[in-house]
Amino acid sequence: MIKIDLTAALPFCSAADFTNESLRASKALKTLTEGTGAGSDFLGWVKPSKYLQISELTMINEVAEELSHNIDVVVVIGIGGSYLGAKAVIEALSHSYHSLLPQRKHPIVLFAGHQMSQDYLWELLEMMQHYSCACVVISKSGTTTEPALAFRLIKKHIEEKYGAELAKKRIVAITDATKGALRGLAEQEGYRTFVIPNDIGGRFSVFTPVGLLPMAIAGVDVPMLINGVIEQEGMSLCNDPDNPSIQYAAIRNALHKKGKLIEILANFEPKLHYVTEWWKQLYGESEGKEGIGIFPAGVDFTTDLHSMGQYIQDGPRFLMETVLSVAKPKQNVVINSQADDLDGLNYLVGKNIDFCNKMAEKGTIMAHVDGGVPNIHIQIPVLDARSIGALLYFFEVACGISGYMLGVNPFDQPGVEAYKKNMFALLRKGTS
Ligand code: PA5
């Protein structure tokens, strides 16, 4: 389902280099599947066919249906891995104007706790006064400041609006089975809860309740998404040179050794913007440590061809580009003829918009390769739940492989603590 084309990347490294990196990728995959590398206590996500339980999926579906009944807005509170997976999939698969459609089958899913903007929270709470609302609060550690603050305010709002007892039916918590403040709070208040498995870290948790409950609330076809994940599991865990996760990890490491320090993930479909954000977290937090790591950046084309295009074409040559392409759009929009042809577009009459987009994609790849930017092409057949499930899982496995190839522990994030330490000191945490 995931097609990877390295034709426009291989000329930037020798065949011997690529073969060598493919062998290293193969070994890294073995380390990952056998659990013999660093961070091996965080490999629960590797085999979704093992950890995904029908009973839990049924429960997710039931809670999602309940939270959809007579509820206009569900606020999902979380940050990092407790937010980006759900956001990515919901944006990728929803109608771009879902919230403006006159008839909606599913609640509008909004996010909070992914930053600490005072104005954002004020405006969210103001808006919530006018709608029937519920909330899903997600934190693996149960102690992260941003979501904890947002939850304190949203909990108060829901309790004041519906009363303490009914509020409990409108709040669901997703957290560790035993540890953290959120677990204690949820148990004391009697909220429904889902567990984030111990051995699955935040950025690898999209196929646990962390991602699946918000997706189900937004109307994503979760069973189909899981089908895509399980199908891809067979392909991405297979120690075969054609395995796209092995190929992707191998080529980015081969190019990195040739001085390509930054990888830009480019899409030609705006619905994929948050897939890029999710990918940035996955690769940035997994690989960027000990002075090592390929810097993950993202662009939305053709929009950013009119801003970042100049730099990519002509700036310092330390870039590689990965184009994330959707073979077939869901809708068809054909270009109409115009008698006067004042805009000069009649040469496109009868073609559709996607034809123009695809020609822009081809032309961009040719130009960037000519400009010295190697291109990795990753294609999914269509933007649906099955493909997106497969795509995210493909990236997860490739990330584990690539992290081991770089020689880091892809499953920890010690660097994230530095800002917290300073912030807590400045906030004088623990002094009152
Ligand atoms: O990947 C990670 O582990 C992080 O990005 C976490 O998901 C993020 O910091 C949020 O943590 P928590 O779910 O504990 O609130």
pLDDT band at 28 (very low <50, low <70, confident <90, very high): very high
pLDDT band at 419 (very low <50, low <70, confident <90, very high): confident
Chain segment 274-290, per-residue pLDDT in tens: 999 999 999 999 999 99
Residue nearest to atom 5 of ligand 1 (CA): 80
Is the C-beta atom of 140 inside 6 A of ligand 1? yes
φ, ψ dihedrals at 181, nearest 5°: -65, -35
pLDDT at position 76, please?
Answer: 98
- Please give the domain boundaries of the chain with CATH numbers for all domains: 3-39+237-406 (3.40.50.10490), 48-223 (3.40.50.10490)
Chain segment 108-167, per-residue pLDDT in tens: 999 999 999 999 999 999 999 999 999 999 999 888 999 999 999 999 999 999 999 999
pTM, 2 dp: 0.97
Q: Which of 41, 42, 82 to mutate to test the pocket of ligand 1 (most atoms within 8 A of CB)?
A: 82
pLDDT at position 177, please?
Answer: 95
Instruction: Confirm whether 146 is a catalytic residue.
Output: no
Report, in angstroms and rounded to the nearest whole number, the Rg of the chain calculated over CA atoms.
23
Distances (CA, A) of 105 to 127, 219, 430: 20, 8, 46
What is the Cα–Cα distance from 412 to 357, expressed in whole angstroms? 39
Comparing C-alpha atoms, which of 150, 141, 210 is closest to residue 180? 141
Comparing C-alpha atoms, which of 350, 356, 402 is closest to residue 376? 402
Cβ pair 289, 414 in contact under 8 A: yes
Q: How many angstroms separate the alpha carbon of residue 181 from the centre of ligand 1?
A: 14
Q: What angle do CA 132, 210, 414 make, to 5 degrees?
A: 130
Q: How many angstroms separate the alpha carbon of residue 40 from the centre of ligand 1?
A: 18
Is the C-beta atom of 79 inside 6 A of ligand 1? yes
pLDDT over 90 (residue 403): yes
pLDDT at position 159, please?
Answer: 98
Residue among 3, 156, 362, 420 flagged as catalytic: 420
User: What is the per-residue DSSP string for 369-388?
Assistant: HHTT--EEEEEEEESSHHHH
pLDDT band at 418 (very low <50, low <70, confident <90, very high): confident
Instruction: Confirm whether 231 is a catalytic residue.
Output: no
Q: Which of 76, 77, 79, 287 to mutate to test the pocket of ligand 1 (most atoms within 8 A of CB)?
A: 79
pLDDT over 90 (residue 271): yes
SS (H, E, C) 222-253: HHHHHHHHHHHHHHHCCCCCCCHHHHHHHHHH
pLDDT band at 215 (very low <50, low <70, confident <90, very high): very high
pLDDT over 80 (residue 63): yes
> Which atom of ligand 1 is the closest one to the Cα of 83?
7
Comparing C-alpha atoms, which of 63, 28, 64, 85 is closest to residue 200? 85
Residue nearest to atom 15 of ligand 1 (CA): 139
Comparing C-alpha atoms, which of 231, 175, 194 is closest to residue 53? 194
pLDDT at position 323, please?
Answer: 98
Q: How many CB atoms lie within 10 A of CB 331?
A: 7
Chain segment 358-396, per-residue pLDDT in tens: 999 999 999 999 999 999 999 999 999 999 999 999 999
Cβ pair 45, 232 in contact under 8 A: no
pLDDT at position 245, please?
Answer: 98
Q: How many angstroms separate the alpha carbon of residue 104 from the centre of ligand 1?
A: 31
pLDDT at position 420, please?
Answer: 85
Q: How many angstroms separate the alpha carbon of residue 80 from the centre of ligand 1?
A: 5
pLDDT at position 99, please?
Answer: 92
What is the Cα–Cα distance from 114 to 145, expressed in whole angstroms? 10
Residue among 306, 330, 417, 421 flagged as catalytic: 306
Strands ordered across the beta sheet of 192-195: 108-112, 73-77, 133-139, 171-175, 192-195
The residue type at 322: T
Instruction: Confirm whether 98 is a catalytic residue.
Output: no
What does the pLDDT average to over 296-303?
98
Is the C-beta atom of 202 inside 6 A of ligand 1? yes
What is the Cα–Cα distance from 429 to 149, expressed in whole angstroms? 14
Token pair of 256 as six digits: 């990195």
Q: How many angstroms separate the alpha carbon of residue 23 from the centre of ligand 1?
A: 32
Residue among 285, 287, 321, 361 flagged as catalytic: 285
Residues 6+ apart with CB under 8 A from 367: 313
What is the Cα–Cα distance from 295 to 286, expressed in whole angstroms? 11
pLDDT at position 428, please?
Answer: 87
Is the C-beta atom of 139 inside 6 A of ligand 1? yes
What value does the mean pLDDT of the chain take?
Answer: 96
Token pair of 268 as six digits: 């030609």
pLDDT at position 1, please?
Answer: 85
pLDDT at position 328, please?
Answer: 97
Strand (E) positions, 123-248? 133-139, 171-175, 192-195
Q: Which value, to the nearest 10 degrees, does the dihedral of the CA atoms of residues 278, 284, 287, 292 take? A: 160
Residues 6+ apart with CB under 8 A from 256: 294, 320, 406
Q: How many angstroms separate the alpha carbon of residue 206 from the centre of ligand 1?
A: 12
Strand partners, 326: 380
What is the CB-side half-sphere exposure of residue 105 using CA atoms within 13 A?
A: 7
What is the Cα–Cα distance from 360 to 266, expressed in whole angstroms? 12
User: What is the per-residue DSSP string for 67-112?
Assistant: HHTT-SEEEEE--GGGTHHHHHHHHHHS-TTGGG-SS-SSPEEEEE
Chain segment 300-355, per-residue pLDDT in tens: 999 999 999 999 999 999 999 999 999 999 999 999 999 999 999 999 999 999 99
Chain segment 177-205, per-residue pLDDT in tens: 999 999 999 999 999 999 999 999 999 99
